[in-house]
Chain A
C-alpha cells in the first residue's frame, strides 16, 4: 500500500544531502509526538493490567497485598462463570446487529445528503449529527423514560394506535432489541459523518468518466461508489465494532444488565467485577479474554468484507 518516493530534489550534492537529512529528521519528528504520548501513558497501565490478571489484590491495613495466583482468574472464567459468557454472547449479538444497522442507515443517509442541494445538506447534516452531541448519560436516561411502560411516549403512541402498551425494557425478550435500537439511534451519526467525509473526497472525474458505462443509481453505487469507499467503510466498521464492545453508558442507564441477564454485556460485567466488587485481578483477566475475542471478531469480519470486495470490484 505505501509507495516510497525515491526521487530527490535539488541539483547540487549538498542540496541533496540537506534534503535527505531534513527528510530523515521529519520522519522521526512527525512520529515522535504519537509515540511519546502512547509510551508515556499506555505502557504502564497496560502492563499493570496484564500483571493484575495473574494476581488477586487485597487491601489490608491500608496497604495493597498482591497474591500471585497464576492462571486461576482465567480458569475461573472458563470453568463456571455464569454471567460472563452470557455477556459475551449478548455483546456479539449486540455488536453485529447494532453495527449492521448503523452502517446501512449511516451510509444511506450520507449518500442522500451528498446528493442534496445546499440548503437541504446543511439542515440534514446538522440534524443527523445531533444524537452524538447529546451526553451519553442523558441518552440513556432519556430513552429509559421514553420506553417506560407506564408513562413512556413510545407507549403513548402505541396505545393511541389501539395496541396494548409494551414493556420495551422490562420484557426480557425485548430488552436487548430495545437497547440495540437506542445504540443505533445514538451512533449512526458516527458512520454518517465518516462516510460523508469519504464521499465528499471522492474524485468526481471518475463518476463523470463512468457515466458512459454505468446506467442508473444502483449500478453506479455497486460498481463505482462502493469499491471506492471500501477503505472508509472498513475502517468505520472496525471502529464501530470495537466501540460496541466498549458500550457501557447506555446499558448502565437503560437496564443495568437486566432483566435477568438479557442485556448483560461484557464491558458491564467487567465494570461490576473490576470496580464494583473490587476484584481487579479477575476483572483484568476478563478484559484480556474479551480483547482476544474482539480480535477474532474483527479478523472474521475483515475476511467477509474482503470476499465482498472481490465480488464487487469491476
Chain B
C-alpha cells in the first residue's frame, strides 16, 4: 500500500515538473533569443554572441515608442479589466439570486453568448465607423469600451458560475440580519467571490492585453498598444525574431508582476466557516 502511494507520488511529481519543463524551456529560449543576432536565431544556435541590439532597436529606434506602447497597454488593459469585472460581478449576483424577470436573464446572457460566438474580425469595421463618426478614433475611450464589451460575455459567464457557488444560506442569513440587496452584495457576496473575481480578472486582463485585431484599427500612433507594436516585427518578408523576443520579454513583465502579486489574494477554503 505504501509503495503504491509512494510510486503514485513520484509519477505525479514527474508529470507536474515535466509539464513545467515543457512550458519553461521554450520561454527561456525566447528570452535568450532577445539577446541574439537574427542569424543566430535562424540557425538555431543555442549559444551565440550576446547583443543588446534587439532591445536598442526596440526602445530607441526612430519609429518605435515601445515604452509608450507599454504604458498605453497598461492603462487600457487595467481600466478595461477593472470595469468588466465590476460590471460582470454586479450583474451576475443580480441575475443569479435576485430573481429578475426571466426574460431579462435570458436576453442578457443569451445575447452575450451570441455575440461571443461570432468572430471579432467581422465587427471591427463597424466599430471603426461608429467611433470615427463621433470623432473618437484613436482614443483610449474607444479601445477601453471595445475591450469591455468584448470581454463582458466571458466575465459574465464566469462570475455567474462563481456566484452560483455561494450557498443560499449565507444570502438568507444576510437578509435576516437586515441587509438589502445592495448591502448583501457589497458586504457578503463580494468578499466571497473574490477568488473567482481574481481568476476572471487575470484572464480578462490577459485577453485585453493580447488583443491585436481591434487595437490595430482603433488605435492611433499615440495610443498604440504592445501587441500592435510587436506585430510590426512580423513583416512582409521577414520576421524580426530578435526584436520580437525582446518585445515579448518586456511585455511579460507587467503580467508576471500581477500574477506574483495576485496570488496573495487566492486563499484556500474561503467559504470554510462562513456559514457559521
Indicate if A touches B (C-beta under 8 A). yes
Q: What is the interface of chain A, defined by CB distance below 8 A to chain B?
A: 1-5, 7-10, 19, 22-23, 26-27, 30-31, 33-35, 37-38, 40-42, 44-46, 48-49, 105, 108-109, 112-114, 122, 124-138, 141-143, 145-146, 148, 151-153, 156, 185, 190, 193-194, 196-198, 200-205, 217, 231-232, 235, 238-239, 242, 245-246, 248-249, 253, 267, 270-271, 274-275, 280, 283-284, 287, 290-291, 294-295
Say yes or no for B138: interface residue by CB 8 A criterion.
no
Q: Tell me whether B91 and A126 are in contact (CB under 8 A).
A: no
Q: Closest CB of chain A to B170's CB: distance in Å?
A: 11
Q: Considering the chains assembled together, what is the distance between the CA atoms of A232 and B165 in angstroms?
A: 9
Q: Provided the pairs A49-B118, A130-B23, A131-B23 are in contact, do residues A137 and B152 lie with their beta carbons within 8 angstroms?
A: no
Q: Closest CB of chain A to B102's CB: distance in Å?
A: 10
Q: Tell me whether A34 and B271 are in contact (CB under 8 A).
A: no
Which residues does chain A contribute within 8 Å of B118, judged by CB atoms? 46, 49, 287, 291
Which residues does chain A contribute within 8 Å of B256, judged by CB atoms? 126, 130, 133
Which residues does chain B contribute within 8 Å of A148, judged by CB atoms? 44
Q: Tell me whether A137 and B234 are in contact (CB under 8 A).
A: yes
Q: Considering the chains assembled together, what is the distance between the CA atoms of A44 and B126 in angstroms?
A: 8
Q: Tell me whether B162 and A201 are in contact (CB under 8 A).
A: yes
Q: Considering the chains assembled together, what is the distance between the CA atoms of A19 and B182 in angstroms?
A: 10
Q: Which chain A residue shows the least CB distance to B90?
A: A30
Q: Tell me whether B148 and A37 are in contact (CB under 8 A).
A: yes
Partner of A44, one of B94, B130, B266: B130
Q: Tell me whether B19 and A7 are in contact (CB under 8 A).
A: no
Q: Tell me whether B114 and A46 are in contact (CB under 8 A).
A: yes
Can you list 19 A-B pairs with a CB-CB distance of less than 8 A? A5-B175, A31-B91, A33-B90, A34-B156, A38-B152, A42-B149, A44-B130, A49-B118, A49-B123, A131-B23, A137-B244, A145-B241, A197-B162, A197-B196, A204-B268, A231-B165, A246-B119, A283-B122, A284-B122
In B239-276, which residues have CB < 8 Å from any A CB? 239, 241, 244-245, 247-248, 251-252, 255-256, 259-260, 263, 266-272
Q: Considering the chains assembled together, what is the distance between the CA atoms of A31 and B108 in angstroms?
A: 9
Q: Tell me whether B179 and A9 are in contact (CB under 8 A).
A: yes
Q: Tell me whether B123 and A45 are in contact (CB under 8 A).
A: yes
Q: Considering the chains assembled together, what is the distance between the CA atoms of A290 and B226 in angstroms?
A: 30
Which residues does chain B contribute within 8 Å of A135, judged by CB atoms? 210, 226-227, 230, 247-248, 251
B interface, size bucket: 35 or more
Q: Tell me whether B185 and A42 are in contact (CB under 8 A).
A: no
Q: Provided the pairs A136-B210, A203-B269 are in contact, do residues A30 and B259 lie with their beta carbons within 8 angstroms?
A: no
Q: Closest CB of chain A to B79's CB: distance in Å?
A: 13
Partner of B96, one of A1, A44, A145, A198: A1
Which residues does chain A contribute within 8 Å of B135, judged by CB atoms? none
Q: Tell me whether B231 and A112 are in contact (CB under 8 A).
A: no
Q: Tell me whether B158 and A129 are in contact (CB under 8 A).
A: no
Q: Which chain A residue shows the least CB distance to B89?
A: A30
Q: Provided the pairs A9-B178, A133-B256 are in contact, do residues A294 and B117 lie with their beta carbons within 8 angstroms?
A: yes
In B1-52, which residues have CB < 8 Å from any A CB? 8, 12, 15-16, 19-20, 22-24, 26-27, 29-30, 41-44
Q: Considering the chains assembled together, what is the distance between the CA atoms of A263 and B30 in angstroms?
A: 25
Q: Considering the chains assembled together, what is the distance between the CA atoms of A132 and B203 in angstroms?
A: 9
Q: Tell me whether B145 and A197 are in contact (CB under 8 A).
A: no
Q: Considering the chains assembled together, what is the distance between the CA atoms of A290 and B122 in angstroms?
A: 13
Q: Tell me whether A156 and B272 are in contact (CB under 8 A).
A: no
